Amino acid sequence: MSKIVSMEHFLVPPRWLFVRIETDDGAVGWGEASLEGHGEAVAGALDAARDRLIGHDADRIEDAWQMIYRLGFYRGGPVLMSALSGIDQALWDRRGRVLNAPVSDLLGGRVRDRIRVYAWIGGDRPGDVAEAAAMRREQGFDAVKMNGTEEMAWLAGPSAVNDAVERLAQVRETGLDVGVDLHGRVHRPMARQVVRALEPLGPLFIEEVLLSENPEAIAQVVAQTAVPLALGERLFSRWDFKPFFQSAAIDIAQPDLSHAGGISEGRRIAAMAETYDVALAPHCPLGPLALASCLQLAATCPNFVIQEMSLGIHYNQADADLLTYLQNPEVLDVSDGSVAVLEGAGLGVEIDEERVRHAARQPHRWRNPVWRGPDGSLREW
């Protein structure tokens, strides 16, 4: 038995929260519990979890998961599940390192050799998004994701819909596959119009067509279109996904493995999705440990389709690149729209611990921007 003797967390730029677990045999595992805009809250939840985990057998990963999930009385939600996610990832990473095997091997072995990936593109105008898409193509991507609309009122005129169409058309002309993210900021009267207008352009998928608290409305939209609808970054467990699977409201499940219970729960959500003929495309606009966890899971899931990754220009900060804290950044090289399955021990990425500790001396306090419409009313993120 290897007992947990320490658990630390590090708030590092741009908005990430890393977890480090060490056992009495000297083995170390890293995970990521990033929850954008709420890092301090997750850090507090990690402090509470530490009290239960010190002295626990680190090889009993599922027992640790159940203990943290069930014995706090209050369960679920973004803060508690993000803390649990970072712990779970770190325990899997440590176990893989002890056995000198990638986590994918511990999950039953890979079903593919390469993993298709896509990257985010920003830009407010059609010309901007086309230029950003061209940059992604040079980086090796053959698929990207973009905002469907910068902001849209509950009811808007034809120009708002036309702008969304023009933005997508400009990027599609680059030859890339394009996912469109509505961020739940479009309401049902406009969502139906936007989806209908975008459908002829063949988007790869449309994400968060409506907020996830409206499953019945999402089911209505999916019944009206052939475009695959994706959702899941704001769902935190298999129980949160359950009604969407049962109502056939989504085509692609997007659990975030730093929010939705880590690798352990991510695997259960993926298997559950497969029984409903729903694809898996993990959400991950986060750091290297979150991405590595997603890639380990993606390697093992038959229903996996594509993985989000935040390489290069995502944050527009020199010290905030996905590769900043890695000693082996080459394992995330993108070629022909995909990355190779990670074969290193554990999560397959090597963290530069000295750099992490130095960066955490000034913990980030990242907050979501506040958006308002022309009339001064708040808009969704």
- 283 catalytic residue (yes or no): yes
Cα 38 to the center of its chain, rounded Å? 16
Residue 199 gets which letter from DSSP?
G
Do 4-100 and 105-347 agree at the fold level? no
| Residues 254/257/261/266 CA torsion (nearest 10 deg) | 60
Q: What are phi and psi of 274, to 5 degrees?
A: -60, -35
Query: Phi-psi category of 316—alpha, beta or left, where left has phi over 0 and alpha has psi -120 to 50?
Result: left
**Residue 58 CB contacts under 8 Å (≥ 6 apart), including other chains:** 2, 3, 4, 21, 23, 27, 29, 64, 91, 94, 95
Q: What pLDDT is stored for residue 151 in this prediction? A: 76
Catalytic residue among 38, 56, 283, 314: 283
CA angle 36, 205, 173 (to 5 degrees): 105
Predicted local confidence at residue 318, as pLDDT = 52
Q: Where are the chain's structural domains?
A: 4-100, 105-347
Q: How far apart, in Å, are the Cα atoms of 50 and each of 28, 219, 282?
A: 15, 40, 27
- Tokens representing 324 are 């900043």
Q: CATH says 4-100 is which class?
A: alpha beta
**Could you report the average pLDDT of every consecutive run of 10 residues in the chain (381 residues)?**
97 96 98 96 98 98 97 93 98 98 98 97 74 92 92 83 92 95 91 96 97 91 95 97 96 98 98 98 97 98 97 56 93 97 98 96 90 84 75
Catalytic residue among 183, 259, 314, 364: 183
The 3-class secondary structure across 287-344, one letter per residue, is CHHHHHHHHHHHCCCCCECCEECCCCCCCCCCCCCCCCCECCHHHHCCECCEEECCCC
Classify the C-alpha dihedral 240-243-246-249 as positive or negative: negative
Amino acid at 178: V
Q: Is the separation of the CB atoms in 229 and 214 below 8 Å?
A: no
Cα dist. 34→30, 217, 286 in Å?
13, 30, 7
Cα 99 from Cα 94, distance rounded (Å)? 9
CATH architecture entry for 105-347: Alpha-Beta Barrel (3.20)
pTM: 0.96
How high is the pLDDT of residue 269? 98
